[in-house]
Amino acid sequence: MKVIVADDYGMMSKEAAEIVAAEIRKKPDCVLALPTGGTPLGLYAELVRMHKEEGLDFSCVFAFNLDEYIGLPEDHESSYNFYMHDRLFNHVNISRDRIRIPCGLAEDPEEEAAAYEWAIKRAGGIDLAVLGIGRNGHIGFNEPRTEFGSLTRPIYLAKRTIEANARFFQENPDAVPRRAISMGIRTIMNSRKIILLASGVEKSHAVNQTVHGPVTEMVPSSVLQLHPDCTLILDKDAASELEPSPNGFIPGPGIKTMVY
């Protein structure tokens, strides 16, 4: 597992954007899995800048969201559909028919999830999955105890996740949906390349467990130790609990890369 430690949130976001941009340049019709939440906001702002100032071309890119709440319409301000359009899709030249986000209002969420999993396969599988991480080590909405063999499916959110996400429902924090459709652990692990972003000291424990902990379904992100091409991109606070790498590190300007 490779760990990039950036001096601050801005540099973390730029590092992540460089990796996403490199993937798009290498394979213009690459398939991305994309997260929501507070952490990737800087990444999306940087990708929008790269599109506007450097001509980064999203026209052939396929984008699959990691997850979506069940029960919210697409145009609800707290839906992940709204978030992705507001933060990224409305500002780059991605083709609308290459965007896939689970439908939160699907009559049959099981069927919607199975169709979503199938759509990922039909697109050729995920080339690059971008992940955030919950304080409990969740990735996507795969909460502790999720089976490593899980595929896209409807899930129940953990209490801690509902509390953490209440900040995105300011008008009514009690309105956080209790369910979502999420890519599964196996869906994510099938990606050819994975990057995980984490910022802030409140993520440091989960990050430590991801890198050093036993691989256990109690900490979903620990499964990433088993992926052949996974890079964690952290700011200093998120990296603050990590042991120094026995393999040393490669320093760069404001960045150091460790290999575990």
Given 13, 17, 39, 99, the residue binding ligand PGA (CB under 6 A): 39
**Is residue 129 a contact residue for ligand PGA (CB under 6 A)?**
no
Q: Is 107 exposed, middle or buried (0-12, 13-18, 19+ CB in 10 A)?
A: exposed
Minimum distance, C-beta of residue 252 to ligand PGA, in the bound complex (Å): 24
Tokens matching residue 241: 């609990």
Find the catalytic residue in 85, 138, 227, 235.
Answer: 138
Is residue 67 among the annotated active site residues?
Answer: yes
Minimum distance, C-beta of residue 40 to ligand PGA, in the bound complex (Å): 7
Element (H, E) at 198: strand 193-198
Distance (Å, whole) CA 149 – CA 186: 5
| C-alpha torsion angle, residues 239, 233, 166, 76 (rounded to 10) | 170
**Is residue 37 a contact residue for ligand PGA (CB under 6 A)?**
yes
**Is residue 78 a contact residue for ligand PGA (CB under 6 A)?**
no
Across the beta sheet with 249-252, what order do the strands follow? 99-100, 62-65, 31-34, 128-131, 193-198, 230-235, 2-6, 255-259, 249-252
3-state helix, strand, coil in the chain (%, to 5): 35, 20, 40
Find the catalytic residue in 136, 165, 227, 235.
Answer: 136
Report 135-154 residues binding ligand PGA (CB under 6 A).
138
By C-beta, is 102 or 132 nearer to ligand PGA? 132
Minimum distance, C-beta of residue 95 to ligand PGA, in the bound complex (Å): 27
Neighbours of 75 (CB within 10 A): 9
**Is residue 13 a contact residue for ligand PGA (CB under 6 A)?**
no
Is residue 138 among the annotated active site residues?
Answer: yes
Find the catalytic residue in 67, 68, 127, 235.
Answer: 67
Given 38, 71, 144, 154, the residue binding ligand PGA (CB under 6 A): 38
Residues tagged active-site? 67, 136, 138, 143
- Note the residues at the interface with ligand PGA (CB under 6 A): 37-39, 132-134, 138
